[in-house]
Structure 1
């Protein structure tokens, strides 16, 4: 009865809405995820990936938790659920990868934030990125980053030649906030990388603005998933089944049309070029007279006591009072009495902060600054200069969803993507 009802609902949808242009060749993908870390939406997106994994040549699943306690075990747990549902999925479509094939490409990446220089030591995950990138192929390796850039930055540092062999779709926004140091390393040292930086667009996938009531975040589970299969039963454990899946647009982008063309409309968004990534350097306390753009890199430099600790040691704390509450960030010692910390704001607001350390004589200080909704905004003297293949959220005001830049380029296709997924859920009843 459930299958009949779902088929009826899908039949009511206009064919033009669910139209999806086929990708000419299965893309080679490597997913870097902070699953099990600070945000359970990665589990939701991993369920989506596994149910669509027949559409990809999956070369890597890397656990890269900049913060939190995620490990590759969290990926393996999701593959275990997929294995239990695979028989039903395979009755409808061929080419689903075997669970063992997916397990073989699960790798552990960096756990914990990278130091100020943006990289540290190689991990199983960063080495795997290099190995996959250097594999002989007519296609690039698509690195889909659902969390921090730590393992990607490490791989680029360890083997810069892979820059020309990979293309990156990064779910930035709050993830950018967690990895200010590796982001700064990548953007400064690899300006010729092919890179989509989606800071606002992906938000369109968990917006319910203008979507049918049955497809809003709260109702989708009860209407379409209904604990279908083992993946469906597990889905209820994340946000009580409310759909967020902020990382899923990276997959949708690879499923629709030509991923090599970021200007086209696609289920995963449409993007435009940008040639500078804003960077602001402060050698003083900031005040309410200081305004920075959202998602921009901020560096606070301090002079203090010369201490006998290793260069790039985390030795002081920036405590930020934001709308979501208090957060603490590590600052680093550069040697010769020089201290520095990077910070990236994720939304429009007025922030206050303090800088403190247990080091005797450390110049404790506090300040405030204003964050506006301008990305990438006006040019500044300290901005990172980008090459010809960096792309980001569209600036057209008509494509904003609330304050989220470019989000309507994803929101436009949200219903189509979710209804297509509903069909696959029906296979698991």
Structure 2
């Protein structure tokens, strides 16, 4: 009997392994879809066409800036549902639309205050629930926008840190989400995190400037006429492929996700032991320099006022293109004021500090932003643990001006041709 049971166990184990030798990665997407940058819609189309490659446990709307909501995720799922029969002709395992709708949750709307946290949201509570599920596989949280819901989840249930892995598209998202980022880096330095501030640009950008999309005829050649998702794709950048958040998916699709330093479609990264943070108690000048994507903290002493701590009471205005962007600063109490900002690219930054509060030290300033992250060490840097990774600093891996860009740019054609096969499925009668 003992020999029989042992043999049965071996047979069942082998059968189980042969049926699922490479378990799908568990994934939660945190996205600012529907906000100011429609590239999230393009990345969502890509995800939906590859749901057979992932176990999707959450789709969280986390717009730290803009007007995005889970309604836009539902709209994309509706398009996917119409195209699903054609996808299913070519394989099993595609997610059921009803299951995707069930795990779609609303996260925080708007950036967190200086503390980096506020109160739980449907999205942050869902992250905690999924992270506590008993499963030998880690829960991958792919962040396409702000970190607010992740920061809230870690604050409310810090024990989930050991069960999750994060791949975050930073860069400009870090600018919008500087307070939530600072909360995570200072309170959860041992988080398993891939912080991608520039490599992802290699997937879509002109190599001299971030956010300048390489134009091509990819839409006309492969997408045009390809189902409902294909028709919708034309609505974003006139069909030019940006998909700046897609490298987070690609990282799990090709390569060994357990090895951030290895090669993968989603890039190759190096460990960093510190995250650049510089604190000033004054307005700066061009003689002051910081790394791009550094956390720049301005602190001022001003009048004592009677408002709740963490109230937005002053603003930093930064010229941007033909307009300007305005960032809130906060009252910390006892006459102390502070603001955190993360410049997304190398430049000479100009700004104004203003406030309606009489006696606030309004001022103008400039700052030189350098093109190497995390750059020179500062005594005020966030000190990180052993599992925090970021863009490779080797000059040979810069794609033009984009640090680490070649680690993703080299795979672009292969990725797009792989995707083209699936667009062809949607063109079938």
Q: CA deviation at 1:218?
A: 2.8
Q: Please give the secondary structure, in 2, of the residue aligned with 1:120.
A: coil
Pick from 236, 248, 251: which aligns with 1:250? Answer: 248
8 Å contact from structure 2 (residues 351, 366) kept in 1: yes
1:263 and 2:261 equivalent? yes
User: Quick one: higher RCO (CA 8 Å, sep 6+), 1 or 2?
Assistant: 1
Tell me if structure 2 keeps the 8 A contact 1:30–1:141: yes
Query: How far 1:207 moved relative to its partner?
Result: 3.5
Q: Which moved more, 1:100-109 or 1:250-259?
A: 250-259
Cα distance in 1, alignment partners of residues 409 and 285 from structure 2:
37
Equivalent-residue separation in structure 2 for 1:324 and 1:221 (angstroms): 30
Distance 1:54 1:262, change over 3 A: same
Equivalent in the alignment of 2:109: 111
CA distance in structure 1 between the partners assigned to 2:168 and 2:306 by the alignment? 38
Shift of 1:324: 6.9
Matches of 1:371 and 1:140, distance apart in 2 = 36
Residue of structure 1 aligned with 2:180, choices 179, 182, 196: 182
1:352 positional shift: 1.0
Listed as ranges, the gaps of 5+ residues in structure 2 are: 1-19, 208-212
1:24 offset after TM fit, Å?
A: 2.4
Give the CA deviation at 1:366.
1.0
**How many correspondences in the alignment?**
403
1:256 Cα offset (Å): 1.1
2:388 corresponds to which residue? 390
- 3-state DSSP of counterpart to 2:389: strand
1:169-190 Cα distance to aligned partner (Å, 9 max, x none):
0000011111000000000110
Which 4+ residue blocks in structure 1 deviate beyond 3 angstroms?
Answer: 322-325
Which residue number in structure 1 is paired with residue 409 of structure 2? Answer: 411
Of 324, 327, 340, the residue aligned with 1:326 is 324
**Could you say which residue in structure 1 is the equivalent of 2:157?**
159
Decide whether the 8 Å contact of 1:295 with 1:375 is kept in 2. Answer: yes
Q: Structure 1 stretch 216-225 or stretch 383-392: which is displaced more?
A: 216-225
Residues 1:38 and 2:36 are matched in the alignment: yes
For residues 286-336 of structure 1, the C-alpha deviation after alignment (integer angstroms, 9 at most, x for no partner) is 111101111100011111111110000011110012457411000000011
SS at match of 1:354: strand
d(CA) in 1 for partners of 2:364 and 2:245?
35
For residues 5-58 of structure 1, what are the alpha-carbon distances to aligned partners after superposition, in whole Å with 9 as ceiling and x for unaligned? xxxxxxxxxxxxxxxxx9922000000000001200000000000000110000
Q: Distance in 2 between matches of 1:395 and 1:352?
A: 27
CA distance in structure 2 between the partners assigned to 1:57 and 1:111 by the alignment: 26
SS in 1 for 2:426: coil
Q: In 2, distance between residues paired with 1:87 and 1:152?
A: 34
Report the CA distance between 1:257 and its aligned residue: 2.7
Distance 1:120 1:361, change over 3 A: same
Give the CA deviation at 1:247.
0.2
The partner residue of 2:47 within 46, 49, 54 is 49
Q: Is the 8 A contact 1:283 1:301 kept in 2?
A: yes
CA separation in 1, counterparts of 2:316 and 2:378? 24
Alpha-carbon RMSD: 1.4
State whether residues 83 and 99 of structure 1, in contact with CA within 8 Å, keep that contact through their aligned partners in structure 2.
yes
CA distance in 2, matches of 1:26, 1:397: 35
Distance in 1 (CA, whole Å) between partners of 2:21 and 2:302 is 56
Which residue of structure 2 lines up, in the alignment, with residue 123 of structure 1?
121
Q: Distance in 2 between matches of 1:326 and 1:227?
A: 39
The 1:111/1:23 distance shift into structure 2, 3 A limit, reads farther
Deviations 1:233-264 (A, max 9, x none): 00000011010000000000011132111011
C-alpha distance in 1, partners of 2:283/2:92? 60
Aligned twin of 1:367: 365
Question: What TM-score comes out, normalization by structure 1 length?
Answer: 0.92
- On the 8 A contact 1:318/1:354 being kept in 2, the answer is yes
